[in-house]
């Protein structure tokens, strides 16, 4: 059995993300228990809303240090929307420090003629890491669904797993390094492509389980 902990910190409806993971064959556990998160096979940090409340809610549940530790442990980890943004050092949206797992800052889209802020709706991914497990069976120009005014600006552009262009601004849509993956868009709202991405994460978790089991046998 593959169990994925979906971290509950009162920053959005978790049902849709859980449903997508379950369709892919995972058992989901919505929890703010550090013990549950640590014992899971993979972790999803979802979130909608603003950066500062997200960090405040994580702090109120004593989850900041455990998430940092779990993210660095090698366990498969997926951040979604605000759950991606808080992985960085800070945001122009507020004053709270982020988790600092990825060096970089969350920046606001710049106003320009012909675009709306927030960026709300469908946009096409340009894949920067085409061999990432998350992109298995995903076309290079796949459409996914966004709702955001802020985007991640990693210090190291090699972290970029995908970008989008909104007006004249090309910005980060996903990042990845080792076991850590995070997306600005909402896979749970992105139709078949989103379900495929969630399924790919479950597949990655299962592959890591299998490799760990083989090491134990060896």
- Active site amino acids: 81, 186, 188
Q: CA nearest 18: which of 42, 51, 54?
A: 42
Q: Can you point out the beta strands (E) in 9-61? A: 27-31, 42-45
Q: Give the chain's end-to-end CA distance (angstroms, integer).
A: 21
CA 133 to chain centre: 14
The rounded distance, in Å, linking the Cα atoms of 6 and 168 is 35
- 49, two tokens: 């809303």
DSSP state of 73: T
Angstrom distance (rounded) from CA 139 to CA 21? 20
How remote is the C-alpha of 147 from its chain's centroid?
A: 14
> What are the residues facing 35 on neighbouring strands?
none
Residues in the chain: 218
Compute the chain's Rg from CA coordinates: 16
Token pair of 207, please? 């592959």
């Amino acid at each position: 059995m593959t169990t994925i902990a979906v971290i509950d910190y009162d920053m959005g409806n978790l049902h849709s993300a859980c449903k997508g993971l379950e369709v892919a064959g995972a058992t989901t556990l919505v929890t703010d228990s550090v013990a549950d998160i640590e014992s899971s096979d993979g972790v999803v940090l979802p979130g909608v809303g603003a950066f500062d409340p997200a960090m405040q809610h994580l702090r109120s549940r004593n989850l900041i240090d455990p998430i940092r530790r779990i993210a660095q442990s090698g366990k498969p980890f997926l951040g979604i929307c605000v759950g991606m943004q808080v992985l960085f050092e800070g945001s122009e949206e507020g004053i709270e420090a982020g988790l600092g797992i990825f060096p970089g800052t969350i920046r606001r889209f710049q106003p320009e003629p012909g675009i709306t802020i927030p960026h709300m709706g469908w946009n096409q991914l340009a894949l920067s890491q085409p061999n990432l497990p998350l992109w298995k069976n995903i076309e290079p120009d796949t459409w996914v669904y966004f709702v955001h005014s802020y985007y991640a600006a990693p210090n190291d552009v090699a972290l970029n797993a995908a970008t989008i262009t909104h007006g004249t601004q090309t910005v980060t849509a996903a990042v990845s390094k080792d076991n850590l993956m995070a997306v600005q868009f909402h896979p749970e709202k992105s139709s078949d492509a989103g379900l495929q991405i969630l399924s790919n994460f479950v597949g990655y978790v299962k592959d890591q389980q299998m490799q760990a089991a083989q090491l134990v046998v060896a």
